């Protein structure tokens, strides 16, 4: 059996590929939900809003092939019309035209559709949640894996950000020093970001040729986009808040966000139905402190992650180990395709 640690996109896809090839699998997920950095919340007016991964582009070909394989439709991000640009706190936001940049897409029903689909292809014995893996030991020819209980397996795929993998899991014998050093200095994409979404009774921002997009140098919101569902029956705005606002209380942050949005979109923004946010720095199964500041994507796809450890039994494979588009959903799919191919042909 192969144990896969983590039920994010990379872990679930690896499990699905191995199962399809006839290899017994078990996914152990530490959270009480699956999806990891894919996290679609359903608001009280039943609108799917993205607290994590949202967009992909035509060059994300592995992800697009997977969506086609799983029959999951996607649609273009609404960007038609002008955007607001807030350059200075002392001047009102300007209306600007967004330069053409090629389409970006969102998955119909929310990004979580890909997670629901992959998990539906695994049995309850093959996917367990609330199972935080804390130890991996080599015991003669098998691995002993400590989660809520001890489970034995032949091989293990650590489908988490490498920095988390080496800090949350104790390995016996120790992993090589060079792997530990590189993993400790491998950036985890978006681990300290903040996402916020608001839903509304109608898409009032679409009036007068506006797209609803906002770009701000001032904050707290730095980027905001139209986030209506594919069918255009649910109306929302969603985007990023400056990471430093993680230091504020929920109420302080929300007030500052609403003040800024009110200034830009006007009074109607205060008539929102639901407000949702996620502060990823507070998520200890995504975010882990670094010894020194890391630059975005630092060490993503480092060749050391191509190697296996414990005599071909331990593999590190998630988006941050991917040699292409590390950090993005595309990287997660690429990593899962690569490690499963390796395990199937071994």
Ligand X SMILES: Cc1cc2nc3c(=O)[nH]c(=O)nc-3n(C[C@H](O)[C@H](O)[C@H](O)COP(=O)(O)OP(=O)(O)OC[C@H]3O[C@@H](n4cnc5c(N)ncnc54)[C@H](O)[C@@H]3O)c2cc1C
Please state the closest distance from residue 92 (CB atom) to ligand X, in A: 29
Task: Point out which span in 75-83, 154-162, 177-185, 256-264 binds ligand X (CB under 6 A).
Answer: 154-162
Task: Point out which span in 66-74, 94-102, 188-196, 241-249 binds ligand X (CB under 6 A).
Answer: 188-196
Which residue in 59, 75, 332 sits closest to 190, CA to CA?
Answer: 332
Sign of CA dihedral 290, 292, 298, 303: negative
Which residue in 321, 16, 39 sits closest to 160, CA to CA?
Answer: 321
Question: Considering beta carbons, is residue 3 or 83 the nearer one to ligand X?
Answer: 3
The contacts of residue 346 (CB under 8 Å, 6+ apart) are 312
Task: Point out which span in 73-81, 157-165, 209-217, 290-298 binds ligand X (CB under 6 A).
Answer: 157-165
DSSP character string of 173-187:
SPPPHHHHHHHHT--
Question: Considering beta carbons, is residue 120 or 262 the nearer one to ligand X?
Answer: 120
Task: Please report, as residue ranges, which positions from 120 to 149 form the binding site for ligand X (by CB under 6 A).
Answer: 132-133
55 in contact with ligand X (CB under 6 A): yes
CA–CA distance, 237 with 49 (Å, rounded to integer): 9
Task: Please report, as residue ranges, which positions from 77 to 106 form the binding site for ligand X (by CB under 6 A).
Answer: none
Task: Please report, as residue ranges, which positions from 204 to 263 form the binding site for ligand X (by CB under 6 A).
Answer: none
Report the length, in residues, of the chain: 346
320 touches 188 (CB < 8 A): yes
Task: Point out which span in 24-32, 176-184, 212-220, 226-234 binds ligand X (CB under 6 A).
Answer: 24-32
Out of 49, 83, 168, 269, the only residue in the binding site for ligand X (CB under 6 A) is 168
Q: How far is it between the farthest Cα atoms of the chain?
A: 70
318 in contact with ligand X (CB under 6 A): yes
Which residue in 106, 122, 171 sits closest to 316, CA to CA?
Answer: 171
11 in contact with ligand X (CB under 6 A): yes
Residue 127 bridge partners (DSSP): 27
Question: Considering beta carbons, is residue 93 or 109 the nearer one to ligand X?
Answer: 109
Please state the closest distance from residue 201 (CB atom) to ligand X, in A: 26
Question: Considering beta carbons, is residue 12 or 83 the nearer one to ligand X?
Answer: 12
Please state the closest distance from residue 273 (CB atom) to ligand X, in A: 22
Out of 17, 19, 26, 37, the only residue in the binding site for ligand X (CB under 6 A) is 37
Written as six digits, the tokens of 85 are 């640009």
30 in contact with ligand X (CB under 6 A): yes
CA–CA distance, 254 with 279 (Å, rounded to integer): 12
The label of the residue with tokens 């899962």 reads 336
Written as six digits, the tokens of 108 are 């119909």
The label of the residue with tokens 């209980």 reads 149
Out of 286, 300, 302, 337, the only residue in the binding site for ligand X (CB under 6 A) is 286
DSSP state, residue 170 = E
Out of 2, 3, 4, 8, the only residue in the binding site for ligand X (CB under 6 A) is 8
Written as six digits, the tokens of 74 are 């996607």
Give Cα 337 distance to the centre of its chain.
18
Contacting positions for ligand X (CB under 6 A): 5-11, 28-31, 36-38, 52-56, 132-133, 159-161, 164, 168-169, 189-190, 193, 195, 280, 285-286, 318-319, 327-329, 331-332
């Amino acid at each position: 059996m192969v144990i896969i640690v983590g039920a994010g996109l990379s872990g679930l896809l690896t499990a699905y590929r191995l199962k399809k090839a006839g290899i017994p699998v078990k996914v152990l997920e530490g959270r009480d939900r699956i999806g990891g950095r894919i996290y679609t919340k359903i608001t009280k007016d039943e609108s799917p809003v993205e607290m994590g991964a949202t967009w992909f582009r035509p060059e994300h070909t592995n992800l697009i092939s997977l969506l086609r394989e799983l029959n999951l439709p996607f649609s273009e991000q609404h960007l038609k019309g002008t955007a607001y640009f807030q350059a200075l706190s002392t001047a009102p936001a300007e209306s600007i035209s967004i330069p053409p940049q090629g389409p970006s897409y969102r998955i119909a029903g929310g990004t979580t559709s890909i997670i629901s689909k992959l998990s539906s292809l695994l049995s309850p014995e093959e996917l367990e949640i609330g199972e935080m893996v804390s130890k991996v030991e080599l015991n003669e020819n098998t691995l002993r894996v400590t989660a809520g209980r001890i489970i034995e397996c032949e091989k293990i795929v650590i489908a988490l950000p490498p920095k988390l993998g080496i800090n949350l899991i104790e390995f016996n014998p120790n992993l090589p020093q060079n792997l530990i050093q590189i993993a400790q200095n491998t950036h985890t994409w978006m681990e300290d970001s903040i996402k916020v979404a608001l839903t509304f009774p109608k898409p009032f921002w679409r009036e007068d040729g506006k797209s609803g997009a906002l770009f701000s140098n001032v904050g707290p919101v730095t980027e905001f986009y139209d986030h209506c569902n594919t069918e255009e029956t649910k109306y929302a705005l969603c985007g990023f808040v400056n990471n430093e606002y993680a230091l504020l209380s929920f109420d302080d942050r929300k007030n500052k966000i609403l003040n800024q949005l009110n200034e830009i979109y006007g009074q109607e923004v205060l008539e929102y139905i639901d407000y949702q946010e996620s502060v990823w720095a507070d998520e200890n199964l995504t975010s882990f402190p670094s010894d020194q500041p890391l630059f975005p994507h630092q060490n993503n796809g480092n060749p050391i992650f191509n190697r296996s450890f414990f005599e071909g039994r331990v593999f590190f494979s998630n988006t941050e180990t991917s040699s292409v588009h590390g950090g993005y959903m595309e990287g997660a799919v690429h990593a899962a395709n690569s490690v499963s191919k390796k395990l199937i042909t071994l």
